[in-house]
């Protein structure tokens, strides 16, 4: 595996619909923040959901975890740091850190794992060619 680090930072403002009656972000919405990070990462690095789908594959989440450290409140700006974790396996893994922008306080950490399914929803056991090509383009694989 390579020493190349692929990371994106996504900024989002906490909306009223994302908080509970105490103006604290409801715990389930942090999973949506991870989705925002993945989607932004995909756009920045050319490996978005439509890129995968155009290769006749899907990448469902099979594992996700969150560790909550501090709360976010209505109106806070969150910075979602999404880091691609390179692996030889036929999967996509990310690690996340969520910070409050105003004081750079670490709010939460997380991880996610996605696998490749073909359009018949069958598990792909080897890394798809387009993913290997993307890894080469990003400097993660050498010829």
Domains and CATH numbers, the chain: 7-137 (3.10.129.10)
In terms of pLDDT, which residue wins out, 2 or 72?
72
User: 139 is written with which tokens?
Assistant: 């400097």
Return the SS3 of 32: helix
Chain Cα centroid distance, residue 14: 18
Give residue-wise pLDDT tens across range 16-52.
999 999 999 999 999 999 999 999 999 999 999 999 9
Q: Above 80 in pLDDT, residue 1?
A: no
40 is catalytic: no
pTM: 0.93
Return the SS3 of 37: helix
Phi, psi (deg, nearest 5) at residue 24? -100, 140
Phi-psi region of 21 (alpha: psi -120 to 50; beta: other; left: phi over 0): alpha
Give residue-wise pLDDT tens across range 46-91.
999 999 999 999 999 999 999 999 999 999 999 999 999 999 999 9
């Amino acid at each position: 595996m390579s020493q190349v680090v692929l990371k994106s930072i996504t900024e989002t403002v906490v909306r009223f619909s994302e908080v509970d009656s105490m103006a604290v972000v409801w715990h389930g919405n942090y999973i949506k923040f991870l989705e925002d990070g993945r989607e932004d990462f995909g756009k920045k690095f050319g490996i978005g959901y439509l890129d995968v789908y155009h290769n006749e594959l899907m990448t469902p989440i099979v594992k996700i975890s969150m560790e909550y450290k501090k709360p976010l409140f209505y109106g806070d700006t969150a910075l979602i740091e999404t880091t691609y974790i390179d692996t030889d396996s036929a999967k996509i893994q990310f690690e996340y850190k969520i910070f409050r922008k105003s004081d750079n306080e670490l709010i939460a950490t997380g991880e996610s794992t996605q696998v490749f399914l073909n359009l018949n929803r069958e598990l792909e056991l080897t890394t798809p060619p387009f993913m290997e090509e993307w890894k080469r383009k990003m400097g993660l694989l050498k010829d």
